[in-house]
Amino acid sequence: MLWRIRHRAPQSSRELRLGIGDDCALLRPAAGEELAVTTDLSIAGRHFRLGIHPPEAVGHRTLARGLSDLAAMGARPVAAFLSLGLPRELAVAKRGRTWVDRFLDGFFALADRTKTALAGGDLAESPVAMADIVLVGAVPRGRALLRSGARPGDLLYVTGALGGAAAGLRLLDQTSARKKGASFSISGRNADLLAPHLYPEPRLAQGRRLQQQALATAAIDVSDGLSTDLAHLCSESRVSAEVDSAILPSHPAATLNDALNGGEDYELLFTASPKARIPRSISGVAITRIGRMLPIRKGRPPVMLVTAKGKEPLEPRGWEHFS
């Protein structure tokens, strides 16, 4: 099993001196760079559902979650470590390909495309399927994009479209309910609508450009939902924010609630000085201004939503780690 993973893993990365097979992997950042490290835990029944998510999509999403954190720091992927806990029937087959083989198909397709070497990991039998991903990235010393750099007066931007993942999950739920658990095809128009949920694209090129050209003052990825992640950014930067609902770039299938609280879009939310020249798109992904940063004022909620009817507080209603 570990042998199978070892032989499928891309082993190439300049910074990876020693990969799978020893007690530890060895990583050596290039001169002038430092390493960014993040972990993300996915558990069946909570972050994915074995009954509705294709294994390839679970593998893709596991890696995408970690890569998205690197993107939000402006870091370039160097190595990944994958810990899998799996029920026996997902990992061991009498014949044919197992769930974990298909999980790894999705995982390695994205790893190859983003030049992410699998440097190690762990595998254990578990009554519940779970995957913990560690991503290590490289970024010029002292120049990573942080959550804490936003200043009052900065403008607020987001990449791509919001709410597509939540809308896709709803469609997946409806489709699988109609099929009553039978496997259903993901193709044609469905595939387009499901893609933001099943195969989100981490915004690595966009994060790197913001970092390299020092365009952003702060950044975070939208993993828990705009309302929640913007609250995190405001808290770390000690500022407040105003979001204009009329100019939010919503996915065509998304409701306003999906766009504000949906989560798992893995777009980048960032702030920039009003003097910064922010491009309209980076590597084919649109960049949209959605609001502005303000000083904290006592008695005013940290995030306000501007609508046609006026201003209202935007409470963090995205993903909670203990719901």
Applying CB under 8 A, the residues found at the interface with a copy of itself are: 1-2, 17-18, 21-29, 34-41, 43, 45-47, 69-70, 72-73, 75, 79, 81, 83-85, 88, 91-92, 119-128, 130, 132, 134-137, 139, 141-142, 144, 146-148, 219-221, 236, 321-323
Q: How far apart are CA 123 and CA 103, in angstroms?
A: 14
Provide, rounded to whole angstroms, the least separation between the CB of residue 156 and a copy of itself: 17
Q: Are 29 and 15 in contact (CB under 8 A)?
A: yes
Provide, rounded to whole angstroms, the least separation between the CB of residue 59 and a copy of itself: 17
Provide, rounded to whole angstroms, the least separation between the CB of residue 31 and a copy of itself: 10
Nearer to a copy of itself, 21 or 188 (CB): 21
Nearer to a copy of itself, 41 or 205 (CB): 41
Nearer to a copy of itself, 215 or 253 (CB): 215
Q: Are 73 and 207 in contact (CB under 8 A)?
A: yes
Taken in order 71, 73, 74, 78, is the CA torsion positive or negative? negative
Provide, rounded to whole angstroms, the least separation between the CB of residue 187 and a copy of itself: 32
Q: Residue 14's closest CA among 23, 5, 27, 24? A: 27
Nearer to a copy of itself, 38 or 217 (CB): 38
The phi, psi pair for 6, rounded to 5°, reads: -55, -40
Non-local CB neighbours of 251 within 8 Å, separated by 6+ positions: 161, 162, 163, 164, 167, 196, 258, 259
Q: How far apart are CA 115 and CA 8, in angstroms?
A: 14
Non-local CB neighbours of 309 within 8 Å, separated by 6+ positions: none
Provide, rounded to whole angstroms, the least separation between the CB of residue 138 and a copy of itself: 11
Nearer to a copy of itself, 126 or 175 (CB): 126
